[in-house]
């Protein structure tokens, strides 16, 4: 059976408080998770780069980079090859861009582990050796609503700046970009996601339905839908002796809610001391797989 019209789904979301929290949360060792599922505010404190987190990277990197369909169906998209291709793009980038790539990888990795969402976009940009442009990640939920996600990363250069102030500045940048992208007229952003759907959704009927929903948001659609569900994601590289304050983040999120700009809003923050351990791990994986 085909999905109901997107506009009706948004009305449904407005009428009911849809809880996106996964009841059987798949917790990861080394990560403390704060959830306020009523207000859709979530924080992952990565206190240790644990073996389990490393295993998740090994398990999920190919699906994140290429899409779960292509990762399963195409033998050339193995984990070892994906690490190689990721590093080819990563190692030529500036430190700020590297922080962003690791931050986006962490968001791809952690958000579906703690919230009932599935990515329908891939991390790999279709332009050779370029970073992804447009929507950082696009998700669907169990009600087949579209969630547009923007990820902003940073924070390890200024040790005196208030941690919550820095985190909110990242979220503000994410908000600015997601408003411009999701309500703007760059048709290529949707066309890119429509291609990604083929690489991320196995079921052909669901692929068809999700594409129809995306089409309603497309700039070239007559009577275009402009109601948006969005996710603001921050990845803050700061020591965890001082942590992002959950109550401060809740106030920030509720303040945006009061502006009635978005139909649905999730705020998802990640705090980790540095991005270098993940970089070092991926480099060590590459060296291990290519020395012998």
Torsion 36-41-42-45 (CA) sign: negative
Kindly give, in sequence order, each residue whose CB lies less than 8 Å from that of residue 21, ignoring residues fewer than 6 positions away: 35, 37, 114, 115, 116
Tell me what the mean pLDDT of segment 88-107 comes to: 95
Confidence of residue 109 (pLDDT cuts 50, 70, 90): very high
Q: Say whether 59 sits in a helix, a strand or coil.
A: helix
Residue 164 confidence (pLDDT) above 90: yes
Tell me what the mean pLDDT of segment 75-88 comes to: 95
Nearest to 64 by CA among 36, 21, 102, 94: 102
Strand order in the sheet with 137-141: 31-36, 41-46, 264-272, 229-237, 146-154, 137-141, 117-119
Kindly give, in sequence order, each residue whose CB lies less than 8 Å from that of residue 34, ignoring residues fewer than 6 positions away: 42, 43, 45, 246
| Phi, psi angles (nearest 5°) of residue 290 | -120, 15
pLDDT for 1 equals: 33
pLDDT digits (tens, 9 = 90+) for 223-245: 999 999 999 999 999 999 999 99
Residue 92 confidence (pLDDT) above 70: yes
pLDDT for 11 equals: 46
pLDDT digits (tens, 9 = 90+) for 192-205: 999 999 999 999 99
Phi/psi class of residue 40: alpha, beta or left (left: φ > 0; alpha: ψ in -120 to 50)?
left
Residue with tokens 């070892």: 80
Confidence of residue 130 (pLDDT cuts 50, 70, 90): low
CA distance 104 to 106: 5
CA distance 13 to 45: 29
Q: Say whether 58 sits in a helix, a strand or coil.
A: helix
pLDDT digits (tens, 9 = 90+) for 41-68: 999 999 999 999 999 999 999 999 999 9
Residue 258 has, within 13 A of its CA and on its CB side, a CA count of 6
Q: What is the pTM of this model?
A: 0.91
Do residues 225 and 217 make contact, with C-beta atoms less than 8 angstroms apart? yes
Do residues 163 and 244 make contact, with C-beta atoms less than 8 angstroms apart? yes
Residue with tokens 């923007």: 150
């Amino acid at each position: 059976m085909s999905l109901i019209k997107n506009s009706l789904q948004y009305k449904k979301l407005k009428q009911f408080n849809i809880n996106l929290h996964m009841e059987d949360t798949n917790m990861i060792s080394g990560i403390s998770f704060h959830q306020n599922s009523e207000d859709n505010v979530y924080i992952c404190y990565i206190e240790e780069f644990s073996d389990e987190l490393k295993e998740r990277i090994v398990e999920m990197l190919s699906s994140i980079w290429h899409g779960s369909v292509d990762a399963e169906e195409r033998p050339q998209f193995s984990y070892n090859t994906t690490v190689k291709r990721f590093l080819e793009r990563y190692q030529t980038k500036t430190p700020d861009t590297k922080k962003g790539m690791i931050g986006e990888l962490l968001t791809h990795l952690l958000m579906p582990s703690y919230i009932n969402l599935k990515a329908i976009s891939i991390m790999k940009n279709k332009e050779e050796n370029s970073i992804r442009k447009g929507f950082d990640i696009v998700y669907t939920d169990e009600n087949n609503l579209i969630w547009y996600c923007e990820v902003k990363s940073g924070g390890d250069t200024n040790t005196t700046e208030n941690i919550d102030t820095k985190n909110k500045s990242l979220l503000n940048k994410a908000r600015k970009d997601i408003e411009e992208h999701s309500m703007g007229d760059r048709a290529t952003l949707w066309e890119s996601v429509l291609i990604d759907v083929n690489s991320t959704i196995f079921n052909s009927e669901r692929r068809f339905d999700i594409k129809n929903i995306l089409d309603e948001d497309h700039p070239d659609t007559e009577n275009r839908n402009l109601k948006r569900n969005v996710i603001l994601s921050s990845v803050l590289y700061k020591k965890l002796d001082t942590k992002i304050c959950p109550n401060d983040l809740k106030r920030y999120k509720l303040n945006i809610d009061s502006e009635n700009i978005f139909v649905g809003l999730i705020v998802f923050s990640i705090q980790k001391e540095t991005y270098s351990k993940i970089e070092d791990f991926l480099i060590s994986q590459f060296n291990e797989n290519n020395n012998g």
